[in-house]
């Protein structure tokens, strides 16, 4: 049995600097127990090769979170922007340890100092040009996290970095056509006293077009392209094109034609860094499919 008193103070300040500019500051501190999913002296199997050992100890943890947010909103010019900074710091009395072997992975909780902290910076700007029906939006985010990694006799503080930016646009001036596009670039890397992994990148493109030539006809096309850097300088690209065509013959009959993976892409591959480990996922895709449908409405 263990008892402790936990205080959870919280402070927030919100100030409207001008009619278009708002500032928000917040900070909180809390103390809690580790809140495991279960407590048992017997190992519990999770999946075909994972075993978790938790025991029945209760560990105390403290959490500090601070954030700063400034927002700009101008309805007259349809310009919106915001900037956010957030920092969190968590200190616990225990950490999770992983032991890997050929047949299984054993995760156990070990008493010891466990310090994790995370910093996030994000910014956004959104502008709409009403006379021409065009909108532009830019997002950017950077995240840096630090945590203790313990596995197979190795214990190290690992630092992970993730930076991303997205540019998106849409055009809706014409009643018979709608266009939208988005491009995202991501960069991520891990570093510790044991190793520093290469910076890997990922690029995503989304394009869609909706056409309405007549009141009874509709055409939708969507294109998705994913390019992942598998190892330094080596990329894997996957492009997916889907389409739908609907034609309303009358109030009773409707003709539909749909196609998926029209480019007949075979697979895509993703590389993920997690602490001092690197995982590569290869997923085969279903081939090209085309479906013709005649729908009767009663």
pLDDT digits (tens, 9 = 90+) for 35-75: 666 667 778 787 778 888 877 778 888 999 999 999 999 99
Task: Please check the confidence at residue 119 and state whether its pLDDT lies above 90.
Answer: yes
pLDDT digits (tens, 9 = 90+) for 228-265: 888 888 888 999 999 999 999 998 999 999 999 999 99
pLDDT digits (tens, 9 = 90+) for 271-289: 766 656 667 778 888 899 9
Q: CB of 218 within 8 A of CB of 245?
A: yes
Q: CB of 202 within 8 A of CB of 227?
A: yes
**In the chain, which ranges are E strands?**
10-16, 21-33, 44-46, 50-53, 60-74, 79-100, 105-129, 134-151, 154-171, 177-191, 200-211, 217-231, 234-248, 253-260, 267-274, 277-284, 289-296
Report residue 5's pLDDT band, with 50, 70 and 90 as the boundaries: confident
In this prediction, residue 289 carries a pLDDT of 94
Q: CB of 184 within 8 A of CB of 168?
A: no
CA 279 to CA 145: how far, in whole Å?
Answer: 19
Phi, psi of 284 (to 5 degrees): -75, 150
Task: Please check the confidence at residue 1 and state whether its pLDDT lies above 70.
Answer: no
Instruction: Enumerate the β-bridge partners of residue 85.
Output: 68, 121
47: alpha, beta or left? (left if phi > 0; alpha if psi -120 to 50): left
Pick the residue with more confidence: 187 or 110?
Answer: 187
């Amino acid at each position: 049995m263990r008892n402790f008193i936990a205080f959870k103070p919280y402070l927030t300040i919100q100030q409207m600097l001008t009619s278009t500019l708002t500032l928000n500051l917040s900070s909180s501190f809390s103390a809690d127990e580790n809140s495991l999913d279960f407590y048992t002296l017997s190992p519990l199997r999770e999946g075909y090769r994972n075993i978790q050992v938790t025991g029945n100890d209760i560990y105390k943890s403290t959490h500090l979170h601070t954030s700063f947010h400034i927002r700009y909103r101008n309805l007259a010019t349809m310009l919106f922007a915001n900037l956010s900074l957030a920092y969190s710091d968590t200190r616990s009395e225990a950490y999770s340890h992983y032991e890997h072997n050929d047949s299984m992975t054993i995760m156990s909780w070990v008493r010891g100092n466990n310090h994790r902290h995370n910093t996030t910076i994000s910014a956004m700007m959104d502008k709409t040009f009403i006379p021409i029906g065009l909108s532009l939006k830019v997002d950017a985010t950077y995240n840096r996290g630090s945590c203790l990694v313990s596995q197979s006799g190795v214990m190290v503080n690992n630092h992970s970095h993730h930076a991303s930016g997205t540019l998106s646009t849409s055009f809706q001036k014409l009643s018979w056509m709608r266009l939208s596009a988005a491009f995202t670039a991501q960069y991520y890397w891990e570093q510790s006293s044991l190793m520093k992994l290469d910076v890997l990148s990922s690029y995503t493109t989304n394009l869609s077009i909706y056409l309405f030539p007549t009141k009874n006809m509709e055409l939708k096309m969507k294109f998705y392209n994913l390019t992942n850097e598998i190892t330094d300088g080596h990329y894997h690209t996957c492009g997916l094109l889907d389409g739908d065509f609907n034609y309303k013959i009358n109030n009773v009959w409707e003709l539909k034609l749909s196609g998926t993976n029209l480019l007949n892409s075979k697979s895509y591959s993703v590389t993920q860094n997690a602490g001092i480990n690197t995982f590569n996922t290869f997923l085969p895709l279903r081939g090209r499919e085309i479906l013709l449908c005649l729908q009767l409405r009663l």
